[in-house]
Copies of this chain bind each other. A is one copy, B any other.
Amino acid sequence: MAKHDPQLDDLFHALSDPTRRMMLTRLARGPAAVTELAVPTGLRLPTILRHLSVLEGAGLVTSQKDGRIRSCAFRPEALAPMQVWLEDQRQLWEARLDRLDRYVMTLMKDGNDEP
């Protein structure tokens, strides 16, 4: 069994909320001020700041304050552990299918060997 990876907990949790995914999709297009992130959600700034804090905690976003404006940027490299996890599951799954394939081939071969 794989060791528990708290980074994955934070990552999947951050992405489980539609507002946070919306904010990330906006930031994937380029940096934006928090106020700009808030507009399409229709949510108030304190709510958006709470979502931002979850995204920052998962390493998906960085933000910095310049005077009265807090500007945010996407960190695409933070998605890597998730991609690795997905790939690990795919490999386990495909290894299983390969084993099944070989087993079926053996059965078919054994069947052909018999008269």
Count of interface residues, chain A, beta-carbon cutoff 8 Å: 37
Q: How does the 8 Å CB contact mask read for A1-37 relative to B, with 1 for contact and 0 for none?
A: 1101110110111011110011011101110000000
Q: Is A40 at the interface (CB under 8 A from chain B)?
A: yes
**B1 to A25, Cβ gap below 8 A?**
yes
Residues of B with C-beta under 8 A to A108: none
Residues of B with C-beta under 8 A to A18: 4-6, 8-9
Residues of B with C-beta under 8 A to A86: 79, 82-83, 86
Residue in B11, B28, B82, B93 whose beta carbon sits within 8 Å of that of A76 in the complex: B93
Distance in Å from the Cβ of A51 to the closest Cβ of chain B? Answer: 14
| Nearest-CB residue, chain B, relative to A88 | B25
Distance in Å from the Cβ of A102 to the closest Cβ of chain B? Answer: 14
**B1 to A22, Cβ gap below 8 A?**
yes
**A15 to B12, Cβ gap below 8 A?**
yes
**B12 to A92, Cβ gap below 8 A?**
no
**A22 to B2, Cβ gap below 8 A?**
yes
